């Protein structure tokens, strides 16, 4: 028994070493990726539910790893956040997204907003107000065409720096959105105290709302309370016509999801805008 105990312990440490190594490799690869130009920004359309018009898009980062292929942000964003790489990476995504959107405005009659995700770390340590100001200036994109998505848990952070950053961004004319709403513990009453204009309902409440009474009740409560606070409501993860019909009937303003389009590389999104234009 003693022996087995020892072996178990050895396996355990061997496992830990393997995962620590994998983690270290990922971290190293991430740092290299920024200088090697391995990141890409993809875009997913956001559509106005009442008119069907293209209202804008969300910028979503992708990592094209030389051996691993396309790596999901779900796998590398948390690591980038822990090792602070999210600050330069986030700034790079912002500047790519603003440049691309300015180009769409120049080439087509595009007036939509681009939404970019911000991590808590960028709001706390990234000197974010100056960074955004500089990027808008360099790209020539008006502040009114930029939206920044902050998760509910980041917005809940009582850190003074976060609050100041949000106020600073808002006074520049940037739109602020609460992402993944419903997954944290914030109340809509609390949101009222933040300089936020958009509420994105997390896709976990959307997926089953056509067959789950509780999810449908939550979604419609968020929509009606959000509307009464003067917020613009976006549903994410809209995959089915049944989702769209329900959300539209409830007065949800916008939708984003596979029903309208998956995230796509910049060139594909450019063609998507072109076809919308032609309609």
The gap between the terminal CA atoms of the chain, to the nearest Å, is 74
Residue 21, Cβ neighbours under 10 Å: how many? 10
- Report if residue 13 touches ligand C2E, rule: CB under 6 A: no
Residue 188, Cβ neighbours under 10 Å: how many? 16
90 makes contact, choosing from ligand C2E, Ca ion, none, with CB < 5 to 8 Å by partner type, with ligand C2E
Residue range at the interface with Ca ion (CB under 5 A); choices 48-56, 104-112, 155-163, 173-181: 173-181
**For ligand C2E, how many residues bind (rule: CB under 6 A)?**
22
Residue 264 phi, psi (nearest 5): -140, 155
61 makes contact, choosing from Ca ion, ligand C2E, none, with CB < 5 to 8 Å by partner type, with ligand C2E
Shortest spacing between CB 269 and ligand C2E, in angstroms: 13
Tell me the per-residue interface mask from 98 to 137 with ligand C2E, x by CB under 6 A, - otherwise: -------------------x-x------------------
Torsion angle, CA of 86/87/90/94, rounded to 10 degrees?
A: 180
C-alpha–C-alpha distance, residues 252 and 235, integer Å = 7
- Do residues 223 and 252 touch, judged by C-beta distance below 8 A? yes
Our CB check for ligand C2E shows the closer of 123 and 273 to be: 123
- Report if residue 55 touches Ca ion, rule: CB under 5 A: no
Shortest spacing between CB 92 and ligand C2E, in angstroms: 9
Q: In sequence order, what are the beta bridge partners of 61?
A: 41
């Amino acid at each position: 028994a003693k022996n087995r105990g020892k072996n178990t312990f050895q396996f355990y440490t061997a496992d830990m070493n393997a995962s620590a190594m994998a983690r270290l490799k990922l971290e190293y690869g991430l740092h290299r990726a920024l200088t090697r130009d391995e990141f890409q920004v993809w875009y997913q359309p956001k559509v106005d539910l009442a008119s069907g018009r293209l209202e804008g898009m969300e910028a979503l980062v992708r990592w094209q790893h030389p051996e691993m292929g396309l790596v999901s942000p779900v796998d590398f964003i948390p690591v980038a956040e822990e090792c602070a790489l999210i600050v330069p990476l986030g700034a790079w995504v912002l500047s790519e997204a603003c440049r691309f959107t300015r180009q769409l405005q120049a080439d087509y009659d595009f007036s939509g907003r681009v939404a970019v995700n911000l991590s808590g770390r960028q709001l706390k340590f990234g000197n974010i107000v100056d960074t955004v100001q500089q990027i808008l200036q360099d790209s020539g994109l008006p502040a009114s065409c930029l939206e920044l998505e902050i998760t509910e848990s980041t917005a809940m952070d009582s850190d003074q720096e976060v609050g100041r950053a949000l106020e600073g961004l808002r006074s520049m004319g940037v739109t602020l959105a609460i992402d993944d709403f419903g997954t944290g513990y914030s109340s809509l009453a609390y949101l009222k105290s933040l300089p936020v204009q958009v509420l994105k309902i997390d896709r976990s409440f959307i997926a089953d709302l056509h067959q789950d009474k509780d999810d449908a009740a939550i979604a419609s409560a968020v929509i009606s309370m959000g509307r009464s606070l003067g917020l613009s409501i976006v549903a994410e993860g809209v995959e089915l016509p049944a989702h769209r019909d329900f959300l539209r009937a409830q007065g949800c303003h916008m939708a984003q999801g596979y029903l309208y389009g998956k995230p796509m590389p910049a060139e594909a999104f450019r063609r998507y805008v072109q076809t919308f234009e032609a309609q």
